Amino acid sequence: MKPWQKGYELEYLKKITNYWSDYNEFSCSPFSEMKPNSVASALEAGHLEYLDGKDDYTSGSIESYVQTVRREITADGNVVIGVKEKGDRIIKRISGDVFPLVNKIETFTEPCWLFIWEECVKSRNVVSFGKFQKVGAKISSFGEIQGVYFKDVPGFFGEREHPKVPEYEKYALRKLKLGRVMDWPKKLKIQEKLKNISEFTNHYSNYNAKGSWSALSLRGYRSDPAFITKPIEMNKKWKAENPDSLEWQIEDTPLRAQFPEVENLLKQLPGEKHRIRFMRLKPKGGELRRHTDLVDPDQGIADGKLARIHIPIVTNDKVLFQNWDWDGNGEPKNMKESEAWYLDVRKPHRAVNGGDIHRIHLVIDVVSNEKLRKLL
């Protein structure tokens, strides 16, 4: 027996793990998945309970504990949506049939926080029948959407209030109220110049399927257009190899001067401009797998954060973009050439180019402000 088994037989841990199949179906991360080692830890702590019914439709599993210290709950990295108070019941995860879970939750006498996979219908039914109030959602760097719900115990001072989250923090993918941001002649000039650029830099991300996504910088952290990296996003090894990288300043590359047509587009977006890039996605199945950009703490739409704006320069009807919101909705959309779109990259998103030509977007990071938000 290995130390991580906490004294439990392996076959028993595997059996308990099987009860979490509904939960694991929506797990995208090795850190969130219920595995024998996480089951063993939860059992040892006394946090895990299996609700054994007569068949698969009357059983369930629940992991919960009582909070011992006050702690904020944040969404999208830094947006406070709630506070777990000392003494609250934290239902960390659930799996299985709806009504055994609802019945078990009703036995708890503490104020309850419930965390679910937002895209799991069974879990949303537990929320509904359990009469929980949605507070917000937590997004993982793996693109998981964890709905955050609360049910209070009525007290002398009334029900607990939660922080008011601005509506714009809930936006995922929205077209800016600008109409067409470039006329036909300017668009043709940009497209013609792009045809003469054969080499784009392959993007370093692990969600770049088959190396189909690449970019060039008009403005970045080095004067070389081929340098598309943002130092703060990089891993520890890269930062160790480039120890002064976090001190690098944003600067224009020579490529910006070659595309004066872009300047008129930039003027239509209120706010200071940070990175400006052409980003290319290969045809015939080029894909960015579902992911988030939570590795970049500067992203967001509140004042001073960096809002990501996409302007399609070359595209086709078979390019589909998905961006999931806090409710797990992610309807595929096709952005048209010359439109401007805000994309909250802190939320899960993916792109697929099913057409026969490259998709090229002008992608701009703008320091967010009230004028920019009014365009959403």
Here the CATH number for the domain that contains residue 16 is 3.40.630.30
Do 181 and 327 lie in one domain? The reply is yes
Quote the number of domains for the chain.
Answer: 2
The pLDDT assigned to 77 comes to 75
Do 268 and 357 lie in one domain? The reply is yes
The model's pLDDT over 236-281, given as tens digits with 9 standing for 90+, comes to 999 999 999 999 999 999 999 999 999 999 999 999 999 999 999 9
Among 147, 165, 183, the domain boundary falls at 165
Inter-residue contact 358 to 281 (CB < 8 Å): yes
Do 158 and 107 lie in one domain? The reply is yes
Q: What is the pTM of this model?
A: 0.92
What CATH number does residue 333 fall under? 2.60.120.330
Inter-residue contact 263 to 276 (CB < 8 Å): no
Residue found by looking up tokens 């504990």 in the block: 65
Residue 361 buriedness (CB in 10 A; 0-12 / 13-18 / 19+): buried
Task: Indicate whether 156 pLDDT > 70.
Answer: no
Inter-residue contact 288 to 351 (CB < 8 Å): yes
Q: What CA–CA distance (Å, rounded) separates 63 from 50?
A: 9
Task: Indicate whether 52 pLDDT > 80.
Answer: no
Do 98 and 204 lie in one domain? The reply is no
Do 298 and 353 lie in one domain? The reply is yes
Residue found by looking up tokens 């960015």 in the block: 288
Q: What CA–CA distance (Å, rounded) separates 5 from 19?
A: 17
Phi, psi torsion values for 375, nearest 5 degrees: -85, -10
Among 144, 165, 186, the domain boundary falls at 165
Do 195 and 302 lie in one domain? The reply is yes
DSSP state of 335: P
Do 100 and 198 lie in one domain? The reply is no
Residues 6 or more apart in contact with residue 122 via CB below 8 angstroms:
22, 96, 97, 98
The model's pLDDT over 186-244, given as tens digits with 9 standing for 90+, comes to 999 999 999 999 899 999 888 999 899 999 999 999 999 999 999 999 999 999 999 99
Residue 59 buriedness (CB in 10 A; 0-12 / 13-18 / 19+): middle
Q: What CA–CA distance (Å, rounded) separates 34 from 96?
A: 13
Do 282 and 303 lie in one domain? The reply is yes
The pLDDT assigned to 321 comes to 96
Among 117, 134, 165, the domain boundary falls at 165
Q: What CA–CA distance (Å, rounded) separates 320 from 312?
A: 12
pLDDT band at residue 155, thresholds of 50, 70 and 90? Answer: confident
Mean pLDDT of the 275-293 span: 96
Do 254 and 358 lie in one domain? The reply is yes
Residue found by looking up tokens 């089951």 in the block: 39
Strands (E), the chain: 48-51, 60-66, 71-75, 79-84, 89-96, 112-117, 133-139, 145-151, 173-175, 201-202, 208-209, 213-220, 251-252, 273-281, 286-291, 306-314, 319-323, 341-343, 349-353, 359-367
Domain that holds residue 39: 3-165
Do 222 and 369 lie in one domain? The reply is yes
The model's pLDDT over 9-23, given as tens digits with 9 standing for 90+, comes to 999 999 999 999 999
Do 42 and 133 lie in one domain? The reply is yes
Task: Indicate whether 282 pLDDT > 80.
Answer: yes
The pLDDT assigned to 159 comes to 82
Inter-residue contact 351 to 287 (CB < 8 Å): yes
Tell me the β-bridge partners of 84.
71
Mean pLDDT of the 307-333 span: 96
| Helix, coil or strand: residue 134 | strand
Do 118 and 191 lie in one domain? The reply is no
pLDDT band at residue 183, thresholds of 50, 70 and 90? Answer: very high
